[in-house]
Amino acid sequence: MIHALRKEMLLQWRTRAQFMAVLVFGASSLLLFSFAVGPNAEMLRQFSAGFMWLGLLLSSTLTLAESFHAEMENRAMEGLLLLPTSPRVIYYGKALANWFQLVLLGCALFPVMVVLYDAGTTDLLRLFLVICLGTAGLSAPGTMYAAMTAQVKSKQTLLPLLLFPLIVPALLASVKATSLIVLGDPMQQLGPWIRLLAAFDAIYWSLCGLLFGRVVEE
């Protein structure tokens, strides 16, 4: 497991230029969202959390689709499966690495949101918790679907098509929780949303790990 994670991290470190490209993509999509609303500062502040998570979601499809790219070259996936471990280990290694990358992406997009939409907060610890839980919800099913769509002809269309409907609850809860942190939480509603996110993560991290063995078997 540690070795699988280490391999993925090394792979990501060696392709860090790609991470920068995804980050720029996310930031530019945040810039574009503001044109959809118009230069109304108050409104942009209201919607800031939604924009940030949509930006993160759109960029996440790029990183997730890339995550199995290396395994498809020279049939590296078969080599991995021949290792004396269960495919579950490969899955969790990949999912953790994707999660880590998405957390980084979320932390990097947040300052962009602060600057563009004037929606900052000092409660960074809770914000970090929400980013961690929300991106975990994207990464678990995302890695699973990436493993399938990487082997298919039109993978760029198919991954979002499968992933977007599925992560609706995670997106909803993350947006709500982030906007409660940024805009204030007079009714103490943050707790239930974080619990919902945690439940979503728990379900999909276990379910996808359980099913992954069947997906990659030859």
Interface with other proteins by CB under 8 A: which range of 39-47, 50-58, 118-126, 197-205?
Answer: 197-205
Interface with other proteins by CB under 8 A: which range of 69-77, 79-87, 123-131, 148-156?
Answer: 148-156
211 binds other proteins (CB under 8 A): yes
- The correct pick among 35, 154, 187, 188 for binding other proteins (CB under 8 A) is 154
CA 211 – CA 15 distance, rounded (Å): 29
- The correct pick among 152, 156, 191, 202 for binding other proteins (CB under 8 A) is 152
112 binds other proteins (CB under 8 A): no
Binding mask 3-32 for other proteins (x = CB under 8 A): ------------------------------
Interface with other proteins by CB under 8 A: which range of 34-42, 70-78, 128-136, 160-168?
Answer: 160-168
CB 70 within 8 A of CB 14: no
141 binds other proteins (CB under 8 A): yes
Binding mask 175-194 for other proteins (x = CB under 8 A): -x---------------xx-
CA 64 – CA 2 distance, rounded (Å): 20
Closest approach of other proteins to the CB of residue 216, in Å: 10
Closest approach of other proteins to the CB of residue 187, in Å: 12
Q: Identify which of residues 9 and 183 has a Cβ nearer to other proteins in the complex.
A: 183
CB 107 within 8 A of CB 175: no
165 binds other proteins (CB under 8 A): yes
CB within 8 Å of 205: residues ≥ 6 apart = 95, 136, 140
204 binds other proteins (CB under 8 A): yes
